[in-house]
């Protein structure tokens, strides 16, 4: 059967319509070509132009990546501060911040930026990210080598860092240097949710002209800043060729970049086979509570039930009756509930264990882990998070929590528009309680609102026909 197939033919399906390179040994990363056996094949084809640009990128990464001659040369130049303008390799170094969902979204944004500007993306990996993902590019690595000259500065780099792009502009009359001969060999860019007006000038074409000639850009980011690249005239033509269908950007790039390591893949496949494989229908429910005080247990529970009953995902139960023996007659549905805490799972599981459903369906509820708290600097915690994001992405239907990048990644990998449980404000259940997402795309929570040409604030959701405000955060923007 499909699930036990380890070394199947590398059909177009297995390569996700040409998105993946066939040039990997399969054992090194089982998930890369096996995911298709668990996640339904996508209805969305990548454009042939995207495919050819990815293959081109892979060649560039191999030529310029760590340990290659041109990499060594570029490092030497960076240390000496003397840039040889003939050197062909330029880089984006990505530095982490926040949880895994945020990380995956900002890595994807940095990758698209690298693709658009012919740079090589390198990941500054700390111990908490070890063995979470496979290498995405063949015959090379995307991990920044440990002997990178400014390694010690990378994790400490904050918004206030005086030598960042934003602060240099702020303190230097909006200029990076007095002349092009004096361009720095490397520059820090702060693109996280609490960035300043000057940091955001990154999204202006005129500033990109300066950045173009700086070999090393070091980006610290925790947001999906990718939608704002779609507002820059200089990238417009290329982006329309890469992505004729704008709502599939993360769907394609996410499935291209993020393959769970063999360790995480074992967690995923063993859980799936044990609990989920047999069901006739699988429903993923992702519950993310940002603040227990404003989102009390009972209100959230009511919201989950109201939404899933109304949308006919789950059946109501007869509270007056108790189950004597399992009926086993109706359709069987598995519910995969993910959350940091166990109480929602316990309540839902008990309800279906103790009472018969009104329509005879048999509902089994599962929760893989309850880690209690976000601990993003813990390696095993991050591995479990990726396992659960992937399990969610294998479900037939998704219900996600508003505001959560964890849910966005699951929906994007799945290629499914989820039902979003809208945010509970001031302990009040929203009306409607949930609604269908307008597109597969994640929401950019902190978009710039500056019109670079007019030099004034604008509503960036009204400029192009494929960007709008998000359903769950009204000031955010998303592609659709």
Residues that bind ligand GDP (CB under 6 A): 98-102, 288, 338-340, 369, 371, 374, 376, 381, 384-385, 388, 404-406
CA atoms within 13 A on the CB side of 474: 1
221 vs 133, 212, 262, 309, 423, CA distance in Å? Answer: 18, 19, 27, 38, 24
Q: Are 116 and 229 in contact (CB under 8 A)?
A: yes
Considering the complex, what minimum distance in angstroms separates the CB of residue 464 from ligand GDP?
26
The distance of closest approach from Cβ of residue 391 to ligand GDP in the complex, given in angstroms and rounded to an integer, is 10
* CB of 193 vs ligand GDP, minimal distance in Å: 11
CB closer to ligand GDP out of 388 and 471: 388
In which residue are the tokens 């990996």 written?
A: 125
Tell me how far, at minimum, the Cβ of 420 lies from ligand GDP, in Å.
13
Q: Which is nearer to ligand GDP, 376 or 393 (CB)?
A: 376
Residue 229 makes CB contacts below 8 A (sequence gap 6+) with: 109, 112, 113, 116, 203, 235, 239
Which is nearer to ligand GDP, 47 or 382 (by Cβ)? 382
Answer positive or negative: Cα dihedral of 413, 469, 397, 392. positive
Instruction: Give the integer Cα–Cα distance in Å for 214 and 34.
Output: 40
Nearer to ligand GDP, 127 or 454 (CB): 127
- Interatomic CA distance for residues 267 and 65, integer angstroms: 31
Minimum separation from the CB atom of position 365 to ligand GDP (A)? 14
Element at 91 (helix H, strand E): strand 91-95
Q: Which is nearer to ligand GDP, 329 or 373 (CB)?
A: 373
Least CB distance to ligand GDP at residue 224 (A): 10
Q: Among residues 196 and 374, whose Cβ is nearest to ligand GDP?
A: 374
Gap between the Cα atoms of 477 and 49, Å rounded: 26
* Residue whose CB is less far from ligand GDP, 64 or 443: 443
Alpha-carbon distance of 383 to 374, in angstroms, equals 13
Residue of this chain nearest to ligand GDP (CB atom): 99
How many residues appear in the chain?
480
Q: How many C-alpha atoms does 103 have within 13 Å on its Cβ side? A: 22
Q: How far is the CB of 421 from ligand GDP (least distance, A)?
A: 13
Please identify, using beta-carbon distances, which residue of 57 and 422 lies nearer to ligand GDP: 422
Beta-ladder partners of 337: 285
CA-closest candidate to residue 403, choices 440, 442, 448: 442
CA 282 to chain CA centroid, Å, is: 22
The CB-of-19 to ligand GDP minimum distance in angstroms stands at 23
> Tokens in use for 65?
């990546």
């Amino acid at each position: 059967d499909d699930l036990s197939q380890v070394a199947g033919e590398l059909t177009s399906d297995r390569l996700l319509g040409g998105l993946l390179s066939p040039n990997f040994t399969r054992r090194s990363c089982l998930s890369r070509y096996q995911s298709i056996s668990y996640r339904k094949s996508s209805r969305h084809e990548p454009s042939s132009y995207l495919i050819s640009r990815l293959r081109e990128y892979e060649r560039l990464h191999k030529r310029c990546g760590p340990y290659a001659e041109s990499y060594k040369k570029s490092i030497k130049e960076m240390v000496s501060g003397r840039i040889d303008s003939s050197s062909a390799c330029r880089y984006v170094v990505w530095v982490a911040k926040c949880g895994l969902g945020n990380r995956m979204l900002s890595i994807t944004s940095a990758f698209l930026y690298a693709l658009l500007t012919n740079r090589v993306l390198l990941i500054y990996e700390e111990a908490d990210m070890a063995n979470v993902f496979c290498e995405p590019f063949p015959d090379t690595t995307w991990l920044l080598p440990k002997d990178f000259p400014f390694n010690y500065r990378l994790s400490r780099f904050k918004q206030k860092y005086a030598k960042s792009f934003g602060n240099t502009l702020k303190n230097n009359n909006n200029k990076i240097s007095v002349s092009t001969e004096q361009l720095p060999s490397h520059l820090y860019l702060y693109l996280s949710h609490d960035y300043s007006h000057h940091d955001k000038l990154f999204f202006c074409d005129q500033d990109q002209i300066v950045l173009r000639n700086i070999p090393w850009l070091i980006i610290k980011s925790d947001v999906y800043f990718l939608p704002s690249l779609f507002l820059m005239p200089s990238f417009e033509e290329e982006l329309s060729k890469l992505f004729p269908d704008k709502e599939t950007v993360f769907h394609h790039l996410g499935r291209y970049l993020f393959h769970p390591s063999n360790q995480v893949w074992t967690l995923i496949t063993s859980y799936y086979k044990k609990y989920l494989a047999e069901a006739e229908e699988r429903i993923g429910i992702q519950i993310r509570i940002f603040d227990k005080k404003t989102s009390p247990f009972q209100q959230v529970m009511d919201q989950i039930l109201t939404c899933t009953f109304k949308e006919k995902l789950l059946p109501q139960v007869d509270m007056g009756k108790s189950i004597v023996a399992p009926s086993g007659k109706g359709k069987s549905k598995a519910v995969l509930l993910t959350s940091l805490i166990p109480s929602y799972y316990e309540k839902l599981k008990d309800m279906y264990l103790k009472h018969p459903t009104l329509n005879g369906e048999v509902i089994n509820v599962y929760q893989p882990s309850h880690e209690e708290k976000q601990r993003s600097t813990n390696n095993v915690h991050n591995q479990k998070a990726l396992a659960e994001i992937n399990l969610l992405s294998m479900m037939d239907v998704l219900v996600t929590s508003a505001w959560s990048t964890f849910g966005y990644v699951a929906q994007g990998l799945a290629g499914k528009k989820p039902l979003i449980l809208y945010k509970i404000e001031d302990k009040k259940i929203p009306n409607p309680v949930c609604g269908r997402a307008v597109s597969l795309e994640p929401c950019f929570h902190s978009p710039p609102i500056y019109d670079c040409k007019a030099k004034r604030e604008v509503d960036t959701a009204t400029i192009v026909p494929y960007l709008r405000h998000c359903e769950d955060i009204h000031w955010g923007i998303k592609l659709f």
